[in-house]
Amino acid sequence: MSTPQETRRRTEVRRLVTGLRDDGTHGVVADERVVARTARAFAGLENALLYAADAVPPVPNDGVAPGGHPFFPAAGGVRVFVLTIEPAHAVADPGPITEADLGEAEAVFPGLLAYHSGENPAMHRTCTVDVGIVLEGSVEVELDDGETHVLAAGDTIVQNGTRHAWHNRGEGTARLAFVVLGATPA
C-alpha cells in the first residue's frame, strides 16, 4: 500500500525563458515544465528549481542558465525556486534515514544537508537574503529565538541570513516561491 507522499503527483511549474536568438532577435527561447524534485531524507518537501546562476549574467543572453550549482548561492549568485511543503499530518514517517538516503539528498539538493544541524534538523541558516512569497496554503516559520509566525497565501517574508525552520501544521499543501540572493557575512 502506498503512502499519500508516494501517490501524490509531483509539482510542475511552467518556466518561460526569453533570450537572444541566433538570428539576433529577442523572444522566447524555452517554454517548458519543471518537475519538482524530492528526496527521502526531506519527506514532505519538493523543490522546483527554476533558475540558478553564480553571478548575474550580462543581458541580453541566450537564456540558457548553466547547471551544476549548489543548492544555496555564494555571494553574488541567485536561485529561484518553488518549494512545496505537505502538511505534517499527511507525511508518512520515512523511518530511519540511511547513508543511502543522505547520498540521494546530496545528489538531488547539492550542499543542502550541510546547513542543517543535528539538534534540530529542520533549523538552518544560510548566508543569503531569501525573499519568499506564499502562493498557496499556509506555512509557519520558526525562528532561532523560538518565535513562530504563520504566513498565508499572499504573505511575503524576507529572511536576512537568520536561523529558521519551515513547518506546515495546516490542513493543505503550502507552496512558496523564493528568490534567494547570495550575500556576504556581516
- Per-residue pLDDT tens over the stretch 109-121: 999 999 887 677 7
CATH superfamily of 4-182: Jelly Rolls (2.60.120.10)
Query: With bands split at pLDDT 50, 70 and 90, how would you rate the model's confidence at 92?
Result: confident
Closest by CA to 73, choosing from 121, 18, 112, 102, is: 112
Find out whether 43 and 141 touch, Cβ atoms under 8 Å.
no
78 vs 8, higher pLDDT: 78
Find out whether 62 and 19 touch, Cβ atoms under 8 Å.
yes
By percentage, how much of the chain surpasses pLDDT 70? 95
pLDDT higher than 60, residue 84: yes
**Model pLDDT, residue 4:** 44
**Model pLDDT, residue 5:** 44
Query: With bands split at pLDDT 50, 70 and 90, how would you rate the model's confidence at 8?
Result: low
Cα(130)–Cα(80) distance, integer angstroms: 10
